[in-house]
């Protein structure tokens, strides 16, 4: 269905958008659910008689939900569409409780509307409202109160992630294989997108999919639960990621390049399994600077850096491969990044498939490291997020499954991304197999986490539990017993109210909603 209405989506966006925008204002990108609703309204406007036989060729797939879960729930519009359907099909005898019949009716009416809107002049006739970003009202910031399951008392369990009273929005997930961690991540993404994707303040996401399960074509129905589709999947094995990880310093002082070269050299040293000497590190920094100078401070490539590094070696050593050449050669050979930006990482949803790479290898580390660096570059240029009396705007979630592979070394881009936090409307979800992974000597990943979500663990760390839940003695032993007894799909998290008051249990147990 998305493919068949792409032409309508393109025409609408062309009609809505200007030829040029200022740096802080971007063209409107319509959500597919919005376009589907527009087509549906146009189709239902047609007064032609309806016949049940006309639906025979519009069978919808029964194995998955054909429309996003928010299709009829946004702004309480379900009753309006129900009324319009009954109006148009008042002469048709049908059992409207059959989901398959309703799906076929919707499909037929959407495609009828597509035919109407593609007629010459129809878009201008129908287009009476343009959701231009410049016209957003801060009162319309959506409430991101995520329903993730049930407490033990059968009450709904919510995570409030954008109230002004929330200190930060960092979410930590720890769960061993088979604990239900992937389902929990899916529930979090589903709730974030359901609450925001159709608003003027959509929260997009970037998911690093280490296991490849979210990118698997056999799990394509998962993407509909996130209000996106297969176009969100980026596979660097099949084609380079459609952006450059390097900064553009055009018009900037050369000193900025010098500082950047030092941090970039440190990054390449961090992801290398072999030791890089101080001489190699200095030579690498100089090679990066020379590469930028040759490109007139435009973004460089790994091939540019490699060539300039080799040129700095003494003649007799230029044919020898040291640790830096080994790392750069792998990056060049695998060709994982494009030479220029073809997408904007934060203005849409993306899933980067890392399933074909060794999880603790150079390539997987390089992809995550440099993509996060790219996100930092983008966030640096963004204005502060919108705020009203009750809520703050969230723009984007970065979700790293199997994050322990990125926490074992000094990962400055990740630290920076977390530190930026709510000033730019960024949130992050780090998922690992064991809670101990967050106890890094390089950065305190868990002390300020708003929501630590602890699932079944292979081993428990007393120090981490004390810091997360503020417990000791008998209370510590009790919480350890609860964690040991957690079943698949169950977790414990902080009870912030009790912790603040110093009374009762400092934790609550939640049974997570089963989604995938």
Q: Is residue 291 part of a domain?
A: yes
Helix (H/G/I), strand (E/B), else coil: 234: strand
List, for residues 427-438, the tens digit of each pLDDT value. Answer: 889 898 888 887
Q: In terms of domains, do 321 and 346 share one? A: no
In tens, the pLDDT along 292-305 reads: 999 999 999 999 99
Residue 322 vs residues 201, 263, 273, 277, 361: alpha-carbon distances, Å: 48, 20, 12, 10, 18
Phi/psi at 183 (nearest 5 deg)? -65, -40
d(CA 128, CA 195): 25
Residue 20 has pLDDT above 80, yes or no: no
For 94-140, how does the pLDDT look when each residue is reduced to its tens digit (9 = 90+)? Answer: 777 777 777 788 888 898 999 988 887 777 777 654 444 444 566 67
Same structural domain, 403 and 432: yes
488-509 mean pLDDT: 79
Answer whether residue 23 shows pLDDT above 70: no
The residue among 303, 334, 365 that closes a domain is: 334
Within a domain: residue 26? yes
Q: What pLDDT score does 133 carry? A: 42
At residue 331, φ and ψ (nearest 5 deg) are: -65, -40
Residue 253 CA to residue 363 CA, distance in Å, equals 31
Mean pLDDT of the 228-251 span: 91
Is it the case that residue 384 has pLDDT exceeding 90?
A: no
Residue 11, classed as helix, strand or coil, is: helix
Which H, E and C letters describe 141-182, residue by residue? CCCCEEEEEEECCCCEEEEECCECCCCCCCEEEECCCCCCHH
Tell me the pLDDT band of 349, cut-offs 50, 70 and 90: very high
The CATH number assigned to the domain holding 228 equals 3.40.50.300
Residue 62: its pLDDT value, please? 44
Asked whether residue 92 is assigned to any structural domain, the reply reads: yes
Residue 63 has pLDDT above 80, yes or no: no
Question: Please, which residues have CB within 8 angstroms of residue 158's CB and are 6 or more apart in sequence?
Answer: 145, 146, 147, 148
Q: How high is the pLDDT of residue 414?
A: 83
Q: Would you call 219 exposed, middle or buried from its count of C-beta atoms within 10 A (0-12, 13-18, 19+)?
A: middle
| Residue 501 pLDDT greater than 70, yes or no | no
Residue 134 pLDDT: 44
Structural element, H or E, at residue 33 = helix 32-45
Q: Could you give the CA distance from residue 146 to residue 159 in angstroms, rounded to a whole number?
A: 5
Q: Is residue 362 located within the same domain as residue 476?
A: yes
Number of domains in the chain: 3
Domain that includes residue 470, residue range: 144-243+341-512
If asked whether residues 366 and 471 sit together in one domain, one would say yes
Pairing of strands 171-174, 426-432: parallel
The pLDDT-based confidence of 71 (bands split at 50, 70, 90) is: low
Tokens 């809107």, residue located? 117
Among the candidates 135, 157, 182, a domain finishes at 135
* Same domain flag for 399 and 458: yes
pLDDT top residue among 42 and 496: 42
Same-domain pairing of 416 and 493: yes
Given pLDDT bands bounded at 50, 70 and 90, which one contains residue 319? low
Q: Which two tokens stand for residue 314?
A: 């003494």
Q: What is the pLDDT of residue 426?
A: 84
Cβ 43 vs Cβ 105: under 8 Å: no
Q: Does residue 353 share a domain with residue 330?
A: no
161 and 123 in a common domain: no
Please count the other Cβ atoms lying within 10 Å of the Cβ belonging to residue 122. Answer: 16
In this model, does residue 69 exceed pLDDT 70?
A: no
376 with 504, same domain: the answer is yes
Q: What's the token pair of residue 499?
A: 């912790």
In three-state secondary structure terms, 216 is: coil
Q: Given 106, 135, 164, which residue is the final one in a domain?
A: 135
The tens digit of pLDDT for each residue in 249-283 reads 988 888 889 888 888 888 787 777 777 788 888 88
160-181, pLDDT tens digit by residue? 988 888 766 788 999 998 899 9
Ramachandran assignment for 76, one of left (phi > 0), alpha (psi -120 to 50 degrees), beta (any other): left
Predicted pLDDT at 350? 94
On whether both 321 and 395 belong to a single domain, the answer is no
Position 1 in a domain: no
Please give the share of the chain, as a percent, with pLDDT higher than 90: 24
What pLDDT does 129 receive? 44
d(CA 84, CA 127): 19
With a cut of 90, say whether residue 66 has pLDDT above it: no
How confident is the model over 204-222, as a mean pLDDT?
A: 92
Q: How far is CA 59 from CA 72, 102, 422, 463, in A?
A: 20, 10, 45, 57
416-439: average pLDDT: 81
Average pLDDT, the chain: 83
Phi, psi values for residue 294, rounded to 5°: -65, -30
Q: Supply the pLDDT for residue 183.
A: 94
The secondary structure of 279-342, three-state, reads: HHHHHHHHHHHHHHHHCCCCCCCHHHHHHHHHHHCCHHHCCCCCHHHHHHHHHHHHCCECCCCC
Q: Are residues 481 and 359 in the same domain?
A: yes
| pLDDT at res. 25 | 64
**pLDDT higher than threshold 70 for residue 284:** yes
Q: From 36, 174, 136, 220, select the one nearest 393 (Cα to Cα).
A: 136
The verdict on 392 and 452 lying in the same domain is: yes
C-alpha–C-alpha distance, residues 226 and 275, integer Å: 42
Instruction: State yes or no: pLDDT of 51 exceeds 60.
Output: yes
At 291 the pLDDT is 93
């Amino acid at each position: 269905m998305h493919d068949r209405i792409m032409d309508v989506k393109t025409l609408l966006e062309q009609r809505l958008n200007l030829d040029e925008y200022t740096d802080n204002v971007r063209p409107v990108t319509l959500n597919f659910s919005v376009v589907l609703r527009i087509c549906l309204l146009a189709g239902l406007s047609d007064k032609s008689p309806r016949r049940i036989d006309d639906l025979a060729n519009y069978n919808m797939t029964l194995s998955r939900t054909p429309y996003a879960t928010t299709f009829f729930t946004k702004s309480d519009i379900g009753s309006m569409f129900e009324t319009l359907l009954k109006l148009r099909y008042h002469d048709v005898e049908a059992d409207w409780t059959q989901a398959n019949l309703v799906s076929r009716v919707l499909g037929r009416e959407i495609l009828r509307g597509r035919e109407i809107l593609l007629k010459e002049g129809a878009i201008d006739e129908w287009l009476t409202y343009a959701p231009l970003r410049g016209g957003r009202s801060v009162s319309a910031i959506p409430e991101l109160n995520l329903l993730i399951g049930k407490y033990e008392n059968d009450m709904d369990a919510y995570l409030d992630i954008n109230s002004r009273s929330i200190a930060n929005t960092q979410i930590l997930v720890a769960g061993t294989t088979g604990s239900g961690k992937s389902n929990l991540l899916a529930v979090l993404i589903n709730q974030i997108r359901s609450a925001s994707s159709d608003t003027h303040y959509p929260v997009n996401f970037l998911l690093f999919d280490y296991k490849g399960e979210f990118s698997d074509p056999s799990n394509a129905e998962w993407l509909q639960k996130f209000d996106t589709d297969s176009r969100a999947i980026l596979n660097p094995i099949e084609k380079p990621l459609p952006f450059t990880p390097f900064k553009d310093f055009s018009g900037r002082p050369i000193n900025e390049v010098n500082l950047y070269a030092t941090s970039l050299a440190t990054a390449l040293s961090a992801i290398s399994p072999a030791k890089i000497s101080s001489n190699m590190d200095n030579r690498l920094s100089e090679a990066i600077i020379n590469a930028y100078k040759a490109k007139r401070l435009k973004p460089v490539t790994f091939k540019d850096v490699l060539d300039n590094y080799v040129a700095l070696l003494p003649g007799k050593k230029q044919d020898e491969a040291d640790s830096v050449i080994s790392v750069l050669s792998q990056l060049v050979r695998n060709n994982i990044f494009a030479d220029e930006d073809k997408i904007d990482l934060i203005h849409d949803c993306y899933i980067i498939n890392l399933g074909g790479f060794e999880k603790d290898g150079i390539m997987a580390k390089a992809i995550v490291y440099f993509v996060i660096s790219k996100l930092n570059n983008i966030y640096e240029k963004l204005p502060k997020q919108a705020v009203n009396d009750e809520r703050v705007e969230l723009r984007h979630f970065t979700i790293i499954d199997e994050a322990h592979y990125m926490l074992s070394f000094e990962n400055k881009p990740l630290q920076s991304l977390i530190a930026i936090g709510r000033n730019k409307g960024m949130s992050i979800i780090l998922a690992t197999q064991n809670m101990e992974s967050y106890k890094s000597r390089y950065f305190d990943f868990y002390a300020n986490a708003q929501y630590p979500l602890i699932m079944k663990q292979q081993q428990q760390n007393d120090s981490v539990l004390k810091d997360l839940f503020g417990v000791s003695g008998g209370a510590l032993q009790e919480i350890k017993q609860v964690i040991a007894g957690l079943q698949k799909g169950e977790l414990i998290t902080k009870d912030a109210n009790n912790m603040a008051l110093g009374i009762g249990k400092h934790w609550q147990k939640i049974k997570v909603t089963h989604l995938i």
